[in-house]
Structure 1
Amino acid sequence: MQTELDKFDKAILRVLATEGRISITDLAQRIGLSKSPTQARLRRLETGGVISGYRAMIDPIRLGLDHVSFVEVRLTDTREAALDEFNAAVRLIPEIEQVHLIAGNFDYLMKVRTRSMNDYRQMLAHRISTLPHVAGTSTYVAMQAVKENAPEDVL
């Protein structure tokens, strides 16, 4: 269910997306409302599920995880039970950052982050290729992230 957001709600989301630890007082000042209405709006966005949580943004490059691959995955079976089995298994692999079911010439597109090409090769051979119902994969190695939108960019 889509939530209707006004300009103040969008402003709250934009600020929190980049400064999640900002105080209510500072947030209210930044969006041009007093503290009480800002706090009420924030609580409504949280209870309504628009804000699903707070977390630290970790720079993977500083952790040595600068090898990014995009992997097309084709399955042998695309019935609902097979998709559910694949989905459950892929969620258990932390190196796989994103997985999207695709309408096209392949079934899934995955973003995989590892330390090196060798680490990725091992991941592909021992983890990705052994996922349930995998028929084949195609890998594309990212040389540079040019643009990575965050949700606040579309508000």
Structure 2
Amino acid sequence: MKLDRTDRRILALMQQNGRISNLELAEQVGLSPSPCSRRVKALEEAGLIAKHVTVLDANKLNLKLTAYIHISMDRHTPDRFDNFERLVAGYEEVMECALVTGVDADYQLKVVVPDMDHYQQFLLGKLTRIEGVTGVRSSFVLRQVFHHSALPLSHIR
């Protein structure tokens, strides 16, 4: 899908405020409501807008501990990786999972839990029980400096 300046503006505004009304969005991009709505629908159908979510405040939900965990696997086989990925996708504590290179690990997870006791339960009760996991190295976030959820769009011409 070829994106023009208006499409990029729609995407940028929707990333800033997912609850923006179609009327307000149309006004800000200089369209009438019907064409704006059609553009948003086309962006959704093209898969550029994957979903609409609500961002919650982790601290206010008593989720005070964030850990980045590097996982090493015993074998680099599709079956081993598929099993690991399927299992961690089902753990609500896991916010992100990436197959990585450049470190002494195969995966990096971002995990959010209330405290160190919950982290220990997650680590020992779930993560280290996955077949093939041979190493776990954790780093804990002391302070979240910033977090962006909006993707950069300036490279799109």
Q: TM-score scaled by structure 1?
A: 0.92
Secondary structure of 2:129's aligned partner: coil
Question: Stretches of 4+ moved more than 6 A in 1?
Answer: none
Residue 108 of structure 1 corresponds to which residue in structure 2? 107
Write the deviation string for residues 91-134 of structure 1: whole angstroms up to 9, x where unpaired.
11100110000013210000010000121112111111112210
Does the 8 A contact of 1:89 with 1:132 survive in 2? no
Q: CA deviation at 1:19?
A: 1.8
5+ residue gaps, structure 2: none
**AA of the residue aligned to 1:12:** I
Write the deviation string for residues 9-55 of structure 1: whole angstroms up to 9, x where unpaired.
12111211222222211100011222222111101001111112212
Superposition pairs for residues 53-64 of structure 1, below 5 Å?
Answer: 53-64=51-62
Write the deviation string for residues 61-91 of structure 1: whole angstroms up to 9, x where unpaired.
1100020000000001111111101111111
Distance 1:101 1:125 in 2: 21
Residue 47 of structure 1 corresponds to which residue in structure 2? 45
Residue 5 of structure 1 corresponds to which residue in structure 2? 3
Superposition pairs for residues 113-152 of structure 1, below 5 Å?
Answer: 113-152=112-151
Does the 8 A contact of 2:70 with 2:108 survive in 1? yes
The size of the alignment, in residue pairs, is 152
Does the 8 A contact of 2:95 with 2:112 survive in 1? yes
